[in-house]
Amino acid sequence: MKLSAKQKNACLLLFEDRLSDDHIAEECGISRRTLTRWKQLPEVKEEIERLREAKRKEILKQVKTEGVADKANRLRALNKRWGKMLGIIEARATSALERMVEAQSEPPRGVTNRQWRLITGVAPGAETGLMVRQEKMLGGGEMAEKIVEWKIDIPMLRELRDIEKQAAIEVEEWAEKRVIDLSTLTIDQIAALLGAEAASGGEEAGGKD
């Protein structure tokens, strides 16, 4: 059975699932009872499923061309994140250098030399931007004392390394190191591996001349 224009419109509205059955029936100019009967028709069910499948394909195509499934998009996202993290490191380095300059000046009125050192002091290497400044309170009550610690930002460095690794994988320039258990190999196999290594080393040396 070929669906009428009203039935196709009803299928579209049922697929979109934004209106109640009463409103769909009113939109199509039919009774709620007629709509209920149409919904049981195999042709109507097939049309709704066709619309669903078309929507799934559209979403999949969009993800492949515009989303994270596209290699170019993944590389752009990795590069953007990498650039922002380098920006953070650069900003930290600038801040540390400013602190170093400020530390040479006299403390403001009402600020002790110790407090001024606490405010402006930096640790060796802070000017690289790879260290983070953390304030902590030791003790409690009147004996509480604020201290400053500088630590290498290991999580940031790890994330940068992971981004660089992922980018290398995306452009097929990453090779995982293989660990070979020599105890499982025969003498001939070990000799063949050593010969391959020697040949590879010779080619590299020859290329440098």
pLDDT band at 100 (very low <50, low <70, confident <90, very high): confident
For residue 6, give both structure tokens.
Answer: 């009203």
Beta carbons within 10 angstroms of residue 203's beta carbon:
10
Query: Over 60: is that where the pLDDT of 203 sits?
Result: no
For residue 96, give both structure tokens.
Answer: 């540390």
- Output phi, psi for 104, to 5 deg: -80, -15
Q: Which residues pair with 135 in a beta bridge?
A: 148
From residue 161, how far is each of 73, 155, 203 by CA, in Å?
Answer: 19, 10, 30
9 neighbors 23 (Cβ within 8 angstroms) = no
Domain ranges of the chain: 5-66, 71-156
C-beta pairs of 79-82 under 8 Å, 24+ apart in sequence: 79/167, 81/163, 82/160, 82/163, 82/164, 82/167
- Three state DSSP letters for 192-208: HHHHHHHHHHHHHHHHH
pLDDT recorded at residue 60: 78
pLDDT recorded at residue 202: 52
pLDDT recorded at residue 204: 46
70 neighbors 64 (Cβ within 8 angstroms) = yes
For residue 142, give both structure tokens.
Answer: 């009147």
Encode pLDDT of 101-156 as tens digits. 887 888 888 877 777 777 777 888 888 999 888 888 777 777 777 778 888 999 99
- pTM: predicted TM-score of the whole model, two decimal places: 0.51
Encode pLDDT of 13-52 as tens digits. 999 999 999 999 999 999 999 999 999 999 999 999 999 9
In the Cβ-directed half-sphere of 100, how many Cα atoms lie within 13 Å?
A: 13
For residue 116, give both structure tokens.
Answer: 């001024």
pLDDT recorded at residue 71: 83
* Over residues 161-180, mean pLDDT: 83
Question: In percent, how much of the chain has pLDDT > 70?
Answer: 89
Q: Judge residue 109's burial from the number of C-beta atoms within 10 Å of its C-beta, 0-12 exposed, 13-18 middle, 19 or more buried.
A: exposed
From residue 80, how far is each of 28, 41, 73, 83 by CA, in Å?
Answer: 49, 52, 10, 5
In whole numbers, what is the pLDDT of the chain averaged over residues? 83
* Over residues 172-191, mean pLDDT: 73
